A = this chain, B = another copy of it.
Amino acid sequence: MADKVLIYSRFPKTMMVRFAERFELLDTGGKPAREVFSADELSGIRALLTAGGTPLDAEAMDLFPKLGAIVCYGTGYDGIDLKAAAARNIEVGHSPGANAASVADIAMTLMLATTRRILAADQYVRSGDWVASMPSPMMRPKAGMPGRRIGVYGMGEIGRKIAARCAAFESEIGYFSRTKYDLPYQYFPTLEALADWCSVLMIAVRAGADTQHVVNADILKRLGADGYVVNISRGSVIDEKALVAALTDKTIAGAGLDVFDNEPHAPDALTALANVVLAPHIGGHTLESHVAMQDCVLTNLGAFFEGKSLPHGVK
A contact set with B: CB distance below 8 Å: 101-102, 105-106, 108-110, 112-113, 116, 118-119, 121-122, 124-126, 130-131, 133, 139, 141-147, 164-165, 167-170, 264-266, 271, 277-280, 282, 285-290
Contact = CB atoms under 8 A, between A and B. Distances in A.
A264 B105 CA distance: 31
A285 B101 CA distance: 29
A122 B121 contact: no
16 contacts: A102-B144, A102-B146, A105-B112, A108-B112, A109-B118, A112-B113, A118-B277, A121-B278, A125-B266, A133-B264, A139-B282, A141-B289, A142-B287, A144-B287, A165-B165, A167-B168
A118 B286 contact: no
A147 B105 contact: no
Given A106-B116, A168-B165, A170-B101, A279 B144 contact: no
A97 to B, nearest CB: 12
Contact of A286 (B113, B119, B141, B165): B141
B118 A279 contact: yes
A124 B282 CA distance: 11
Contacts of A286: 141-144
A94 B96 CA distance: 50
A105 B165 CA distance: 12
A122 B279 contact: yes
A312 to B, nearest CB: 19
Nearest to A145: B105
B113 A118 contact: yes
A125 B271 contact: yes
A109 B119 contact: no
Contacts of A165: 165, 168-169
Contacts of A118: 109-110, 113, 118, 277, 279
B125 A288 contact: no
Given A101-B145, A139-B280, 6 more contacts: A102-B144, A121-B279, A124-B280, A125-B266, A142-B287, A143-B287
